[in-house]
Every structure is written in C-alpha cells, then in structure tokens.
Amino acid sequence: MVVHSQKKKSDIKMIKSHNLKIGNIVVSTRIAAKLDLDYVETKLKNAATTKGKFPGLVYRMKKPKTAFLIFRSGKIICTGSKTKEDVKLAIDLLAADLRSIGIKTVDHPDLKVQNIVASAHLRKEVNLAKVLECKGTEYEPEIFPGLICRIDEPKSVILVFSSGRLVITGCKTIEDCEKAVEVLQSNLSLSWFNKKIL
C-alpha cells in the first residue's frame, strides 16, 4: 500500500498510545582519512575481519552496546544503538580507541543517520487479508507472517502483523517514525480490525 500523508490533529494524540520504541539507529560517518585494517585488527580487542565475506572490519562494543563496520577509507557505520546519545558516545569511544593505537581521527565527525528501526502497536488485531485489498501491499504468509506496507511520505516501510504489532524502517528521524505510524493509522479502515486489545 503506497500511503499518502494526511495531517490530522487527533492522530498526534493517538500516536502516544502506540508506545513507539526505537530498536536500532544506523549512523555513518568518516572517522579518519584512511585506515590500515590489518593493523587495527591486531591492536584492538573485539575487532575482527571476515576475509572474503566483508571488505571491512567488525568492531563490537559492550557499553553502549553497538557494532561498527570500519572501512579502509576511514568511513564507519555504527549500528545497534537505541538513542542518539549512545551513538555519539560509542563513536567518541571508538575514536579514543583508535587514537590510543596511534591513529589520527577526525575531530568533529559529521554523523549521518541512514536508518531507524522502531516498533509500535495499534492495540488492535488486524485482518491482513483485508489490508491486502489495497493496491501495492505485499503479503505472502507462507514466506513471511507480516504484511509489507510502503509509505511515500515520510518515505518508509512498515511491517504490519495480525496482532497489531508494527515494525517501522527506512526513516531517518524519530519524528518521521511517528509520522509514518500516523499515516498508516489514518489510512486503515475500521473494517480491517478484528477486535481491540485491552
């Protein structure tokens, strides 16, 4: 279902009842001019390459719990954090770790959010077969139990499960995640719901 945004004041109040939770914020940046990954791997604990499978280095951090994909170009991708504060802290800690082994890092890296994965709940069971009547929806229960719903603004994809659970992906701000659920809700027909979940 390619859904178009419809602004309704009442939707903003209702969004809070969906209990939107951020599951993962994916951020990219450049942390150094270039990196010798073989050297980094030998010097940093929890750093490992996967020869022949991935062209970069994987570096895991326990607190905050994150994982980094580190490339020879000096670019990195940080994944696993649930808050922007944890993303910034994790990147600062990685930079400190790199400096501790003699690598010059970028002083103020420009952080770019690539994707946010969030979850929410409609608090109602959904008849996915009826939602499938909308043009553009994808639903193959033999392969995957959720219905795929594409939203044009904000550009995002929402997985809708019969329980009413939602997984939102593709947004680059938390506000867009909230707006995407608003848009979905404003386009759902009451006939698509089975019963309210208390």
Rounded distance, CA 87 to CA 61, Å?
11
Same domain, 36 and 18: no
- Domain's final residue, options 62, 88, 108: 108
- Tokens linked to 17: 């009842």
Q: Is 3 contained in some domain?
A: no
Identify the DSSP state of 122.
Answer: -
Q: List pLDDT tens digits, range 126-153.
A: 888 777 666 557 888 889 999 998 888 8
Domain count, the chain: 2
How much is the average pLDDT of 55-72?
93
How much is the average pLDDT of 172-183?
91
Query: Cα 187 to chain center, whole Å?
Result: 23
Of 191, 19, 14, 7, the closest CA to residue 120 belongs to 19
Same domain, 135 and 85: no
- At 194 the pLDDT is 57
* φ/ψ (deg, to 5) at 191: -70, -15
Rounded distance, CA 79 to CA 194, Å?
36
Q: Give the residue numbers spanning the domain of 43.
A: 32-108
Q: Is 127 contained in some domain?
A: yes
Same domain, 148 and 123: yes
- At 137 the pLDDT is 76
Confidence of residue 2 (pLDDT cuts 50, 70, 90): very low
CATH code, domain with 127: 3.30.310.10
- Domain's final residue, options 74, 108, 142: 108
